[in-house]
């Protein structure tokens, strides 16, 4: 663990924003903050993380390291996070000396599926949208109480799950027992699998003054629990479902006095009804398209919210498709290869973003490409061409 000697930034802490977490979301946040004239100090244990490479200052320490948090607080009076599993206690500690957006209380809701579902259920009279039927499993004894109506279902750990991690599909009670044991008997939530038509995400931002804005509906496709593509505008969502979910997002973000960017995922079922799935208390993978296709990106919005600036225009100026780039494309069987970026960038609508990760690994997010075109059809066609170039199955 390294605690560097901190440089003396002029006018700190007013011009320096504090970020807990060093991943690719943090890297894009740093770029937008610097474009607005801010410096960024990042607290992150990994030496060469994407955000640390771009930041003005890297404090290399664990997210809960007392000395690291103290050093961050010396140079910043406003703080945010780019990773929902940053300890809420660390954010609460930073709140003793400055302004944290989103707050520890808001982040803690999203860190625990039980709290999250309770929050969605409590707000259902306002939003008109419930989570999927589910059961809370705190011990093996709770398995015997599970209703047959919840099968087939997905068993999810209550905490520390993202990108499909900590999730097992189960068809019956026997598979549930095996899956619960496989997950080491930690507290879990069993969710009923519903007849899904498609998934959408609603990106919303709110300032400390209560001003809130909501982005266009994004339609998502996942593979193996990881986001594959995001298409905006959504090709399938009805005007009614769009309005209902956007209004729900605005009500949810106001209910907990949230400040910052929040992404809420919804399932649209085959009968047209809507179910709320989960939320992420930060900019989101499905919102990466906003960098190239909207007046104000989700990352610039996060900077504005935490710095007390007016929120930006969320207008989308071009139809687009965002394609996640995983480490798999760096491999041909067991042989490592270099993706043909020259051919991808020859496509007129392609905007490539690589995250600066030193090692490509299968299923690891390495970057994304946003395809922006005069029509959604053209963006989709060029996304498909890029997949053929990169060897990504369609």
* Paired strand residues for 206: 212, 260
pLDDT of 308 > 70? The answer is yes
pLDDT at residue 162 in the model: 64
Average pLDDT for 204-232: 96
Residue 343 labeled ligand binder: no
pLDDT at residue 119 in the model: 98
Ramachandran angles phi, psi of 6, nearest 5°: -85, 135
- Does 236 lie in the same domain as 274? yes
Per DSSP, 23 falls in state S
Tell me which residue range forms the domain holding 77: 16-100
pLDDT of 5 > 70? The answer is no
Average pLDDT for 280-306: 97
Q: Which of 20, 88, 108, 100 is nearest to 58 (CA)?
A: 20
Residue 46 labeled ligand binder: no
Task: Report if residue 300 sits inside a domain.
Answer: yes
Helix (H) and strand (E) counts in the chain: 12, 20
Task: Report if residue 267 sits inside a domain.
Answer: yes
Per DSSP, 236 falls in state S
Strands 153-157 and 212-214 turn out to be unpaired
Q: How far apart are CA 75 and CA 39, in angstroms?
A: 10
pLDDT of 188 > 60? The answer is yes
> Considering its fold, how many domains does the chain have in total?
3
Residue 166 labeled ligand binder: yes
Task: Report if residue 220 sits inside a domain.
Answer: yes
Q: How many residues does the chain have?
A: 394
3-class SS of residue 374: coil
pLDDT of 94 > 70? The answer is yes
pTM: 0.94
Residue 336 labeled ligand binder: no
Residue 361 labeled ligand binder: no
Residue 377 labeled ligand binder: no
Residue 206 labeled ligand binder: no
- Does 188 lie in the same domain as 200? no
Residue 140 labeled ligand binder: no
Give the CATH number for residue 289. Answer: 3.30.470.20
pLDDT at residue 6 in the model: 40
pLDDT of 242 > 80? The answer is yes
- Does 293 lie in the same domain as 167? no
Radius of gyration from C-alpha coordinates of the chain: 21
pLDDT digits (tens, 9 = 90+) for 119-175: 999 999 999 999 999 999 999 999 999 999 999 999 999 997 666 678 999 999 999
Q: Sign of dihedral through CA atoms 285, 287, 290, 293? A: positive
- Does 203 lie in the same domain as 156? no
Task: Report if residue 121 sits inside a domain.
Answer: no
Give the model's confidence band at 2: pLDDT under 50 very low, under 70 low, under 90 confident, else very high. very low
Residue 289 labeled ligand binder: no
Residue reference for tokens 């044991």: 181
156 touches 191 (CB < 8 A): yes
Task: Report if residue 5 sits inside a domain.
Answer: no
- Does 227 lie in the same domain as 273? yes
- Does 237 lie in the same domain as 378? yes
pLDDT of 382 > 80? The answer is yes
Average pLDDT for 229-253: 97
Tokens of 329: 């494309």
Ramachandran angles phi, psi of 128, nearest 5°: 75, 15
Question: Which of 192, 214, 229 is at the close of a domain?
Answer: 192
pLDDT of 7 > 50? The answer is no
Give the CATH number for residue 163. Answer: 3.30.1490.20
Residue 128 labeled ligand binder: no
Q: What is the mean pLDDT of the chain?
A: 94
pLDDT digits (tens, 9 = 90+) for 31-82: 999 999 999 999 999 999 999 999 999 999 999 999 999 999 999 999 999 9
- Does 296 lie in the same domain as 216? yes
Residue 193 labeled ligand binder: yes
104-111 vs 113-127: helix crossing angle, rounded to 10: 100
Residue 161 labeled ligand binder: yes
pLDDT of 207 > 90? The answer is yes
How many other β-carbons are positioned within 10 Å of the β-carbon of residue 328?
Answer: 15
- Does 74 lie in the same domain as 143? no
- Does 200 lie in the same domain as 187? no
Tokens of 36: 């607005």
- Does 372 lie in the same domain as 224? yes
pLDDT at residue 161 in the model: 67
pLDDT of 294 > 90? The answer is yes
Residue 31 labeled ligand binder: no
Q: How far apart are CA 127 and CA 279, in angstroms?
A: 15
Give the CATH number for residue 74. Answer: 3.40.50.20
């Amino acid at each position: 663990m390294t605690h560097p000697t901190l440089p003396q930034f002029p006018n700190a802490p007013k011009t320096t924003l504090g970020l807990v977490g060093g991943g690719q979301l943090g890297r894009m946040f740093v770029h937008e903050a610097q474009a607005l004239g801010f410096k960024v100090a990042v607290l992150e244990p990994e030496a060469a993380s994407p955000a640390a490479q771009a930041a003005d200052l890297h404090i290399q320490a664990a997210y809960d390291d007392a000395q690291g948090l103290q050093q961050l607080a010396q140079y910043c009076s406003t703080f945010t996070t780019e990773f929902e599993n940053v300890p809420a206690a660390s954010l609460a500690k930073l709140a003793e000396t400055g302004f944290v957006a989103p707050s520890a209380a808001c982040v803690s809701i999203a860190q625990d599926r039980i709290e999250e579902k309770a929050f969605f259920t409590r707000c259902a009279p306002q939003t008109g949208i419930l989570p999927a039927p589910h059961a809370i499993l705190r011990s093996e004894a709770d398995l015997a109480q599970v209703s047959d109506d919840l099968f087939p279902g997905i068993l999810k750990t209550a905490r520390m799950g993202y990108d499909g991690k900590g999730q097992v599909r189960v068809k019956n009670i026997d598979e549930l027992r095996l899956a619960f044991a496989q997950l080491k008997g930690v507290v879990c939530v069993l969710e009923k699998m519903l007849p899904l038509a498609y998934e959408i995400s609603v990106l919303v931002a709110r300032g400390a003054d209560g001003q809130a804005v909501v982005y266009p509906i994004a339609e998502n496709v996942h593979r193996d629990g990881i986001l594959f593509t995001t298409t905006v505008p959504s090709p399938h969502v009805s005007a009614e479902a769009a309005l209902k979910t956007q209004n729900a997002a605005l009500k949810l973000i106001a209910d907990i006095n949230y400040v910052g960017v929040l992404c809420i995922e919804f399932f649209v079922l085959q009968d047209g009804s809507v179910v709320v799935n989960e939320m992420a208390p930060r900019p989101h993978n499905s919102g990466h398209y906003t960098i190239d296709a909207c007046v104000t990106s989700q990352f610039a919005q996060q900077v504005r919210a935490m710095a007390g600036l007016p929120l930006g225009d969320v207008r989308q100026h071009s139809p687009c498709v965002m394609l996640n780039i995983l480490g798999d494309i760096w491999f041909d069987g067991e042989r490592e290869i270099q993706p043909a970026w020259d051919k991808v960038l020859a496509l007129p609508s392609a905007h490539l973003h690589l995250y600066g990760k030193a090692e490509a690994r299968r299923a690891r997010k390495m970057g994304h490409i946003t395809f922006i075109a005069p029509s959604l059809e053209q963006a989709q066609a060029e996304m498909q061409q890029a997949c053929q170039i990169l060897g990504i199955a369609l």
